[in-house]
Structure 1
């Protein structure tokens, strides 16, 4: 059975700049840490997989001593966990407030995949509560109920390690040759490729200049038809998929095949309309 696995942040919604960054900064302020990440600084932090892991980048010996933080590693880990729990609460409040819109095309493609009988999942290194809030925002409650969610500390090593995708494939009983991953970052792409999965990339606010060598398709957006029309711009297309003004399920269905040959058992529902096939 074919499967479509989405990353969360940057794929379902462009949450890093307008969700995670303000949530981190509000958390730092609440705990009196005298830290405020700028947009430029956070563009570097997003390359660190996992929220707690990003917070730990603060913990130089000088920072720990200046803030009176515990020197015992276990106590310091618990302090970071408290910061992160509060950050997750702030972040989910931002998402539920509706100020961060879903990215174009994600609900359309997920609905087409569900209609075609594909397995749907999200695999993310963000906290599970955060992921579920974005999933419901992006997909709506009815479609979100058909997703399996693999998130947070379900694996020890975060992206770019392949562990989260290996775990999802095992738990869902999938054949890696039938899986397509949609990612937005190089770390996410490397995780998918490391698990032996085909990966399409839709670049996001902080990832447009990253190196996506190895991805099967790279676009700036999955695109949507009118009235919300967003047109897909192809950035890399090594398999010659040649998507039209928007990426459709049939485009993704060919990606696990090295030569781009379409799978005759998979087609788009009529909602996505006719689409040229690769030659």
Structure 2
């Protein structure tokens, strides 16, 4: 059975610019923290894997620590970060629920068509699970979202580019690597997929367009819709020969690409181990 696994942030919806960034800044305002990230600053923060980790980067600024009254104790800082992140997740979920985070072109169409064709469709992200479920439901509707298993949050110990979240999805769903395609938007997400031995399609966004996607079978601007703008094909290494928009046949054709090597035994998520190679420079692609 063919399977399709989606990342969440930047793939299902344009979440970074319209969701996570304003949610971070709203949280900072509500908590009275002396910081506000611009789009450019947030683009740099996206190189850090994880929302709590991005917030924790503020502790590297002595002026912020002093003005915000941040405690020196590591345990107290950990509790503080957890409190901040819960508030940020609530703000993000509210933004998604209000319709402020647009779904990316083609997502609802491809997911619905794949499910109706008997494919397994899942979402694998290390973002907070309530955030992921909110984005999925907004993108495809509650009825379709109920048919899509979600692997999210802290269900694995490491964030992308570690392959753990994809290895967990493969194991839990009983999927065949040779029949599974991943849709990602960032280099670190791509590396997570390929290190799990999976072929990957990348749909770029404004934050990730210039990243290195050499390992991707197909790189496009988005999945597209029949009544929307034609997709831009940035790399087609199969070749797939995408037309106006990406179809299920195109995604099946991706399976003809050479398979990335399967991970070696020993990884903590499912008995397999992460490739120790270069984790890449750009953002992690989740856990905001």
* Mapped contact 1:159–1:188 kept (Cα < 8 A): yes
Counterpart for residue 268 of structure 1:
none
Which residues of structure 1 form unaligned runs of 5+? 261-279
Distance 2:252 2:50 in 1: 30
Work out the CA distance in 1 between the residues paired with 2:108 and 2:47: 26
Aligned to 2:40: 40
Alignment root-mean-square deviation, CA: 1.4
Distance 2:188 2:56 in 1: 18
SS at match of 2:254: coil
Instruction: Give the C-alpha shift of residue 61 in structure 1.
Output: 6.5
Aligned twin of 2:274: none
In structure 1, what is the equivalent of residue 208 of structure 2?
207
Q: 1:230 to 1:74 in 2, by over 3 A?
A: same
Q: How many residues align?
A: 258
CA distance in 2, matches of 1:177, 1:123: 18
Per the normalisation by structure 2, the TM-score is 0.86
Q: Paired residue for 2:268?
A: none
> 1: CA distance between counterparts of 2:45 and 2:136?
23
1:53 shift after superposition: 1.4
- What is the Cα deviation at residue 204 of structure 1? 1.1
Say if 1:92 and 1:130, in contact at 8 Å, map to a contact too: yes
Matching residue of 2:154: 153
Identify the structure with bigger relative contact order (alpha carbons < 8 Å, sequence gap 6+): 2
Q: Counterparts in 2 of 1:4-43, with a 5 A limit?
A: 4-43=4-43
Give 3-state SS (helix, strand or coil) of 1:48's partner: coil
Question: Normalised by the size of structure 1, how large is the TM-score?
Answer: 0.89
Q: Is the 8 A contact 1:197 1:256 kept in 2?
A: no
Report the more deviating stretch, 159-168 or 63-72: 63-72
Whole-angstrom distance in 1 between the partners of 2:54 and 2:61: 16
List per-residue Cα deviations over 1:85-119 (Å, max 9, x = no partner). 00011111111111222111011111111111111
Q: Which residue of 1 aligns with 2:78?
A: 77
Find the aligned partners of 1:191 and 1:48 in 2 and give their Cα distance.
15
Q: Within 5 Å, which residues of 2 pair with 1:49-88?
A: 49-60=49-60, 62=62, 63-88=64-89
